[in-house]
Amino acid sequence: MNESNEHARWGWTDRYREEAAAFPEWIPGRVTLQHRNLYRVITGQGELTAQVSGKLRHLSAASWEFPAVGDFVMVDKADDREGYGTIHHILTRKSAFVRKAAGKTEGAQIVAANVDTVFLCMALTRDFNLKRLERYLAIAWDSGAVPVVILTKSDLCPERAAQTAAAERTAMGVDVVVSSGVSGDGCEEILQWIQPGKTVAFIGSSGVGKSTLINRLLGQERMETLPVDKDGKGRHSTTRRELVMLPGGGALIDTPGMREIGMECGDLSTTFADIEELALACRFNDCRHEQEPGCRVREAVGEGLLSEERLQNYKKLQQEVAYQGLNSRQIENEKIGRMFAEFGGIKNARDFVKGKNRP
Ligand SMILES: Nc1nc2c(ncn2[C@@H]2O[C@H](COP(=O)(O)OP(=O)(O)OP(=O)(O)O)[C@@H](O)[C@H]2O)c(=O)[nH]1
Ligand SMILES: [Mg+2]
């Protein structure tokens, strides 16, 4: 991408430009699609099909270290094959929505990178599930992107006031939009987040209507959609994550419905700010809110200020976060640690830089 206004509309900012300047031999681009080890990358000089360089592959131990849809990357255009290239470097992500790989106990997977707003989509039908929403919110807060809750299929649910109010209570201050890809309900509101220079991603179970909503917002049948089965379950019609650059500026990422969303990462403190605030008044700093004396959280349950169910869900998620490995900040630290291993660790690297900067 070059310095043109057009690229700024795609989210290319000074922050990326400065980092990219360290690699003058390569050109910057943005990953729009991934299929196994092949990537589609859009650059100022057209679209390329690219693979990861041998060195980058060698340095990348975990899947989150490989390029993901939404990443800004430095690529080398192949001299011998028009339209092909090699990805040498991933520019530092400003946000990453991470989930646990389906069916595995470890291995974080990046669903979308460099997202400004993540639309957490949940249908107002049988899909509606506040516990799942809590999980999504925790992961979204940890990702660095701002969550917005989208309640879909409003045309199928005339009585939605109670569900909307319940979602608003769970989301605590996060915007909740009621929408329909069929009637167009809520679309104008959603479009307010889709601005030049911004990236949005749609996340949620299969069949909730993410792609239908995206088509409605785009005004064209850009994404494939499939009817839900007789149990109301989606059929995984979208099978890959894809970023679409909008003609008016801005980028939008459609994702396949998730079967499972693990708590590999999750910022519980924002999602459960009410409980964490109550916990500050507990007598013991490490209060587990079980039988401890002076527990303000249990008191609040007794007073009807907090539901027992919400407290149990908080404890369950807390355990998952504790046991299922690293959160994204730890992942980032671990990565930095590995990058500086040859200097004898991050501390030596810092001392080295300080020493260099000394007059
Ligand atoms: N009535 C109604 N049906 C909808 C709406 N949105 C989607 N549908 C239908 O629900 C089915 C699933 O929609 P999709 O857009 O494919 O769902 P998705 O969330 O993209 O699903 P995956 O790609 O599998 O993750 C399709 O038959 C759509 O026509 C809506 O707002 N109202
Ligand atoms: Mg879809």
Q: Would you tell me how many other CB atoms lie within 10 Å of the CB of residue 210?
A: 29
Q: Quick one: what percent of the chain has pLDDT higher than 90? A: 40
Where in the chain is CATH 3.40.50.300? 96-254
Residues 231-249, mean pLDDT to the nearest whole number = 80
Q: How far apart are CA 105 and CA 294, in angstroms?
A: 36
The alpha carbon of 235 and the centre of ligand 2 are apart by a number of angstroms equal to 9
Residues 22-50, mean pLDDT to the nearest whole number = 90
**By the 8 A CB rule, do 87 and 51 touch?**
yes
What are the residue ranges of helices labelled H in the chain?
A: 5-8, 14-20, 54-59, 130-143, 161-171, 187-191, 210-218, 268-271, 273-279, 296-302, 308-323, 328-339, 346-357
DSSP letter for 45, please: T
At the fourth CATH level, the homologous superfamily of domain 5-90 is Nucleic acid-binding proteins (2.40.50.140)
Least confident stretch, 80-84, 204-208, 218-222, 327-331: 327-331
User: Would you say the CB of residue 210 lies under 6 angstroms from ligand 1?
Assistant: yes
Q: Looking at the CA of 258, name the nearest ligand.
A: 1
Least confident stretch, 129-133, 208-212, 227-231, 339-343: 339-343
- Whole-number pLDDT of residue 87: 96
Where in the chain is CATH 1.10.40.50? 272-323
Q: Which option is the CATH number for 272-323: 3.30.930.10, 1.10.40.50, 1.20.140.10, 3.40.50.450? A: 1.10.40.50
Please give the angle made by the CA atoms of 235, 158 and 232, to the nearest 5 degrees.
15
- At residue 25, φ and ψ (nearest 5 deg) are -80, -10
Better-scored residue on pLDDT, 122 or 353:
122
β-strand partners of 173: none
User: Would you say the CB of residue 238 lies under 6 angstroms from ligand 1?
Assistant: yes
- Whole-number pLDDT of residue 273: 76
pLDDT tens digits along 54-95: 999 888 877 788 999 999 999 999 777 788 999 999 999 999
Q: Within 13 Å and on the Cβ side, how many CA atoms surround 144?
A: 17
pLDDT tens digits along 162-191: 999 999 999 988 999 999 999 999 999 999
Q: Which atom of ligand 1 is nearest to the CA of 121?
A: 19
CA nearest ligand 1 atom 24, residue: 236
| Two tokens, residue 56 | 């980058």
The alpha carbon of 239 and the centre of ligand 2 are apart by a number of angstroms equal to 8
| pLDDT range class, residue 17, cuts 50, 70, 90 | very high
Q: Quick one: what percent of the chain has pLDDT higher than 70? A: 81
Check pLDDT > 80 for residue 157.
Answer: yes
Least confident stretch, 55-69, 87-101, 232-246, 311-325: 311-325
Residues 295-320, mean pLDDT to the nearest whole number = 86
In the block, residue with structure tokens 């989606």: 234
Which CATH number describes the domain made up of 96-254? 3.40.50.300
Q: Which atom of ligand 1 is nearest to the CA of 256?
A: 25
Q: How far apart are CA 115 and CA 67, in angstroms?
A: 14
Which range is most confident: 6-20, 40-54, 342-356? 40-54
In the block, residue with structure tokens 């209507």: 209
| Side chain identity, residue 41 | V
- Whole-number pLDDT of residue 318: 72
- Whole-number pLDDT of residue 213: 96
Q: How far apart are CA 74 and CA 210, in angstroms?
A: 30
Q: What is the pTM of this model?
A: 0.76
Q: How far apart are CA 115 and CA 113, in angstroms?
A: 6
- Whole-number pLDDT of residue 276: 80
| pLDDT range class, residue 343, cuts 50, 70, 90 | very low
Q: What value does the mean pLDDT of the chain take? A: 81
Neighbours of ion ligand 2 (CB under 5 A): 210-211, 237-238
Better-scored residue on pLDDT, 111 or 103:
111
The alpha carbon of 234 and the centre of ligand 1 are apart by a number of angstroms equal to 8
Q: Would you tell me how many other CB atoms lie within 10 Å of the CB of residue 308?
A: 10
Residues 312-341, mean pLDDT to the nearest whole number = 55
Check pLDDT > 80 for residue 268.
Answer: no
Q: How far apart are CA 14 and CA 5, in angstroms?
A: 12
| pLDDT range class, residue 148, cuts 50, 70, 90 | very high
- Whole-number pLDDT of residue 92: 94
- Whole-number pLDDT of residue 266: 54
Residues 25-36, mean pLDDT to the nearest whole number = 90
Residues 144-161, mean pLDDT to the nearest whole number = 92
Q: How far apart are CA 198 and CA 150, in angstroms?
A: 18
Beta-strand pair 72-77/27-35: antiparallel
**By the 8 A CB rule, do 137 and 120 touch?**
yes
